[in-house]
Structure 1
Amino acid sequence: MNEAHPAMTSSRERAAWSTSGYLMLVVFLALAFLLVVRIGTFNGESGQVGSFVGGVFLLPLALIVIAKGFYMIQPNQAAAITLFGSYRGTDRNHGLRWVWPWMGKTRISVRANNVVSEKLKVNDLRGNPIEIATTVVWRVADTAQALFDVDDYKAFVFVQIESAVRSIGSRYPYDDIEHMEVTLRGSHDQVNAELRDELNSRLQTAGITVDSCGLTHLAYAPEIAGAMLRRQQAEAVIAARRKLVEGAVSMVEMALTQLSEKNVVHLDDDRRAAMVANLMVVLCGERDTQPVVNTGMAS
């Protein structure tokens, strides 16, 4: 019978006790000066032997204890304080700091980090293979989670970025010529916002927050790039033709309406059809039309 494993408890950052290292440095220098004075004033008299021996052993021990407690924290850096493996808090005060020497100190950077992922091959929503890459700006928000809830938080970030990019890339099509749906190429703001939410959800376990992210590379995979380019060109031509025809029809309709309303000319059905055909040729033709002047004179 298998034994149930206890669930992992999530760590939470809290402030650790520490004091100014500059104050303890003054104490350290005072004790060192006292030790030098003790050694310099010892003249070997029997009454001074006891105090000299006590001072020689106790003062150096105190100096060693104080010296072991010093540590330095730079700006945008923190130190996780532990006591025999137990988390006691995080010190975010930069400068020279001091804690008891038997407490462990693990420094961790809370600065912003920039990661550019490798180009990943993903199938989009329509099954087309595409290449996609992203840049992510992230930082450590909770030092306790980053250090104690995952084994290696930096490696964890890289793996989750790849997983999130693959997930987002498969949710949307690469492109839509009709502009009727959200696409990877045409909806940058929405895709980037969803990618950021996805990453923050995945990295919450490690105490990591994502400040910004965005796609840096997006293209069809080389094996279908040529075919997809031809399809895009064909779709663009069809869309342009459709717009051209729609505009030509509206212009012909407007011309016939105004001719009729202003009584410029009265057209029967045959002449109306001929005029419509001529106007459509003029408006939709790719080449400049050559007008033919009808003088009404028979040869």
Structure 2
Amino acid sequence: MTTFDWQRCFAPLFDDLDSRGLEHWRILLQQQLRKRFDENPHGDIARWMRALDTLPAIGNVKTELDRPAITLRADQSLSAGAADQLEQSLRGLMPWRKGPFEFFGTYIDTEWRSDWKWDRVAPYLSDLDGRQVLDVGCGSGYHCWRMLGEGAGRVIGIDPGLLFLFQFLSVKRYVSPEQRIDLLPVRMEDLPAKLEAFDTTFSMGVLYHRRSPLDHLLELKDTLRPGGELVLETLIADGPEGYSLMPEDRYGQMRNVWFLPSCDTLLRWLDRTGFRNARVVDVTETTTEEQRSTDWMRFQSLKDFLDPDDPTKTVEGYPGPKRATVIADKP
């Protein structure tokens, strides 16, 4: 089996962690990556690496990180053969769920219009210029690129899904190596306790997957420096303070959905876990225009998880998906 050279891939990050006094994290991370890639490698890694290795070499790439699609451009149009090879390689990394992306004219219409979420969140963020940023549950790293485009000094995304890592690397291979951005295939609980290394931490679409949402909030707080900012987006349910919907089994066909709090309950959770100045900046219903099947994600999507006779409800009869974004500060 072809092995993934994670030491070379993450060497600049390891050096950066050491330079910032985070050697303890670097040592722990190397242990985790060795176990993930060398001791118990995923069976699809060889296929994903072949997709990466067959991406055509393209010089003088320009990156546009402030557009709806993360866009890579070349000085000249690709030849028909190179364009075909590019698309076939990218299709080898399907399904693409978070995006969109545009690779030299090849547009990847992802399941999620992640740019819509970014447009809802971005107006309320503190200036990211020069900040150390963590994106928890980052998927393929779409929002990480948008954060970098806003001037972040260093962006680290974490998500245990290995396919997401190789999708991220398909973009990064065309980007200047000086760009300080990485995606780590680790879980939130794999981070060191009391890390306190980031100025801004994002957790978007994660909280409702946690059996203990308060513990997740405490873990997020531990990633932040004093005075840092949390950006949290999660499914919510309408109701008074203290109300939280706990599905009996599935929610929208998802098994791992545990708590959908009301906005007031969510604010109380943040207060009880030590955050300050928590404020709801957006509440939006998720529609089948924002999440849907595409030619790049051909499995079932939101339309299939809603009641066909009443699309305001899930197939289980719960209220349809509504998401709130909350920003809070660490004292």
Same fold (TM over 0.5): no
Q: TM-score, normalised by structure 2?
A: 0.17
Q: TM-score, normalised by structure 1?
A: 0.18
